[in-house]
């Protein structure tokens, strides 16, 4: 199969009406934080049990087209000995892999971060592909302050994202490009708009410079929202309207799909905002979908509590959130559906 046909096939399997992506790629420190909140110790075995529960959820493939896994999960198995990437594939869910190695402060750009992991990336990707991964994910993180992100931070992060994406495509792996503008702070929604627009312009310029074909990437952006501690809150219509204006200004029409991150929004907020966007999108050139981590998993963790006897309830919680976000993909979600 030629590389281009391979990339096209993965895009066709990932960008599907009514479906989105489950982000289950928490690094060890993040997983430890999630488990501590429910008094579960994060060990290789507890992470295996939990992620096995997620992937074996009956019917998950009705609303989930892809799952982002952490390296460790690629080699883990269910209780009955089935490899977890295989469990995903059998549900009609494309397995993907987080390949970045976290962030460090960016020198000479006080307050900005830069993501690590480009060294040896091609070799790692080749191995992940053998283990079943067909797409990858890399996240750059931008904090908002009166001075951040700096222009240096915006340019350096864009360059790294583009280099990652080019390496992925050369190996027939679809890159998810995730420039996450953080929700922390008391900034206004207008400031979030301004920063996100600058960030995405730099990202798409860098992708072009590095010869990345935008037909074969998926963008995973944050929505345009006020900071968590902002005085003025925004309703879903305003969030949807501003996010769509910003995306239309920054994202080429050739790109197939935009899968938002939830970034600390509650599960209900993330679903409501996605729904408002799809209800308002009109003839937008891209599919507007989700690639949520916390907004899909929070209720699952709450229901599970690390107890095997809660597995069914936890799977029901995941199925419900996936289904509601599936409805939001069509602009058909309503708060009433939360009670069903
Ligand atoms: C699931 O969390 C992912 C990994 O995070 P760490 O590297 O910090 O452990 C994260 O990249 C996630 O995919 C995105 O932030 C989207 O998740 P949310 O929870 O924001 O929807």
Query: Which of 220, 242, 320, 323 is the catalytic position?
Result: 220
Is the omega angle on the peptide bond into residue 254 within 30 degrees of 0, that is, cis?
no
pLDDT per residue as tens digits for the range 17-41: 999 999 999 999 999 999 999 999 9
Whether the predicted pLDDT of 89 surpasses 90: yes
* Three-state DSSP class for residue 133: coil
Backbone angles phi, psi at 51, to 5 degrees: -75, -25
* Three-state DSSP class for residue 169: helix
Q: Is 312 a catalytic residue?
A: no
Q: Measured from the CB, is residue 262 less than 6 Å from ligand 1?
A: yes
pLDDT at residue number 253:
98
pLDDT at residue number 197:
98
- For residues 191 and 92, what is the distance between their CA atoms, to the nearest angstrom? 40
Q: Measured from the CB, is residue 23 less than 6 Å from ligand 1?
A: yes
Q: Give me the mean pLDDT over the 270-285 stretch.
A: 97
Structure tokens at 329: 């993909």
Structural domain harbouring 11: 3-339
Q: Which of 203, 218, 179, 214 is nearest to 94 (CA)?
A: 218
Whether the predicted pLDDT of 132 surpasses 90: yes
Q: How far is the CA of 108 from the centre of ligand 1 (A)?
A: 26
| Domain count of the fold of the chain | 1
Q: How far is the CA of 23 from the centre of ligand 1 (A)?
A: 7
Whether the predicted pLDDT of 264 surpasses 90: yes
Q: Which of 51, 261, 264, 274 to mutate to test the pocket of ligand 1 (most atoms within 8 A of CB)?
A: 261
Whether the predicted pLDDT of 134 surpasses 90: yes
Residue nearest to atom 5 of ligand 1 (CA): 26
Residue nearest to atom 4 of ligand 1 (CA): 26
Whether the predicted pLDDT of 319 surpasses 90: yes
Q: Is 178 a catalytic residue?
A: yes
Q: Measured from the CB, is residue 99 less than 6 Å from ligand 1?
A: no
The CATH number of residue 17's host domain is 3.20.20.70
Strands 113-115 and 103-105: antiparallel
Q: How far is the CA of 196 from the centre of ligand 1 (A)?
A: 18
Q: Give me the mean pLDDT over the 80-105 stretch.
A: 98
Query: Which of 178, 242, 287, 323 is the catalytic position?
Result: 178
Structure tokens at 250: 């920054």
Instruction: Render 250-295 in DSSP notation, one character per residue.
Output: HS-TT--EEEE--TT--HHHHHHHHHHHHHH-TT-SSEEEEEESHH
Strand partners, 83: 77
Q: How far is the CA of 2 from the centre of ligand 1 (A)?
A: 31
pLDDT per residue as tens digits for the range 106-119: 999 999 999 999 99
Q: Which of 20, 26, 102, 263 to mutate to test the pocket of ligand 1 (most atoms within 8 A of CB)?
A: 26
Q: Measured from the CB, is residue 139 less than 6 Å from ligand 1?
A: yes
Structure tokens at 21: 């992506």
Whether the predicted pLDDT of 327 surpasses 90: yes
Q: How confident is the model at residue 340 (pLDDT cuts 50, 70, 90)?
A: confident
Cα distances from 179 to residues 12, 46, 159, 303, in angstroms, run: 23, 30, 12, 31
Angle between helices 236-250 and 189-209 (to 10 degrees): 30
Cα distances from 54 to residues 30, 47, 171, 314, 320, in angstroms, run: 17, 11, 28, 8, 12
| Largest interatomic CA distance in the chain | 54
Whether the predicted pLDDT of 1 surpasses 90: no
Q: Which of 124, 121, 117, 57 is nearest to 84 (CA)?
A: 57
Q: How far is the CA of 26 from the centre of ligand 1 (A)?
A: 6
Q: How far is the CA of 52 from the centre of ligand 1 (A)?
A: 18
Q: Give me the mean pLDDT over the 286-304 stretch.
A: 98
Q: How confident is the model at residue 74 (pLDDT cuts 50, 70, 90)?
A: very high
pLDDT per residue as tens digits for the range 154-185: 999 999 999 999 999 999 999 999 999 999 99
Instruction: Render 35-77 in DSSP notation, one character per residue.
Output: HHTTT----HHHHHHHHHHHHT-TTGGGTEEEEEE-HHHHT-B
The pLDDT mean for the chain works out to 98
């Amino acid at each position: 199969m030629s590389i281009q046909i391979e990339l096209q096939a993965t895009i066709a399997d990932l960008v599907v009406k009514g479906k989105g992506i489950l982000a289950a790629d928490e690094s060890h420190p993040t997983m430890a934080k999630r488990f501590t909140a429910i008094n579960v110790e994060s060990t290789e075995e507890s992470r295996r049990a939990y992620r096995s529960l997620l992937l074996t959820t009956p019917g998950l493939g009705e609303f989930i087209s892809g799952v982002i896994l952490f390296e460790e999960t690629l080699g883990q198995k269910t209780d009955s000995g089935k490899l977890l990437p295989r469990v995903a594939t059998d549900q009609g869910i494309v397995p993907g892999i987080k390949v970045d190695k976290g962030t460090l402060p960016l020198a000479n750009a006080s307050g900005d971060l830069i993501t690590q992991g480009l060294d040896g990336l091609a070799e790692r990707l080749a191995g992940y592909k053998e283990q079943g991964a067909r797409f990858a994910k890399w996240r750059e993180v931008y904090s908002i302050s009166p001075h951040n992100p700096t222009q240096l931070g915006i340019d350096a992060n864009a360059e790294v994202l583009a280099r990652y994406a080019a390496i992925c495509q050369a190996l027939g792996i679809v890159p998810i490009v995730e420039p996450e503008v953080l929700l922390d702070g008391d900034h206004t929604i207008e400031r979030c708009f301004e920063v996100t627009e600058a960030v995405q312009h730099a990202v798409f310029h860098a992708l072009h410079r590095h010869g990345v074909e935008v037909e074969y990437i998926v963008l995973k952006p944050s929505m345009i929202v006020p900071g968590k501690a902002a005085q003025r809150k925004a309703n879903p219509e305003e969030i949807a309207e501003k996010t769509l204006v910003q995306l239309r200004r920054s994202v080429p029409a050739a790109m197939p799909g935009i899968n938002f991150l939830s970034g600390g929004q509650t599960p209900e907020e993330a679903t409501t905002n996605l729904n408002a966007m799809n209800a308002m999108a009109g003839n937008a050139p891209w599919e507007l979908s989700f690639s949520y981590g916390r907004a899909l998993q929070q209720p699952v963790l709450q229901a599970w509590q690390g107890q095997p006897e809660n597995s069914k309830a936890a799977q029901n919680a995941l199925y419900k959130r996936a289904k509601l976000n599936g409805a939001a993909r069509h602009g058909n979600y309503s708060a009433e559906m939360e009670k069903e």
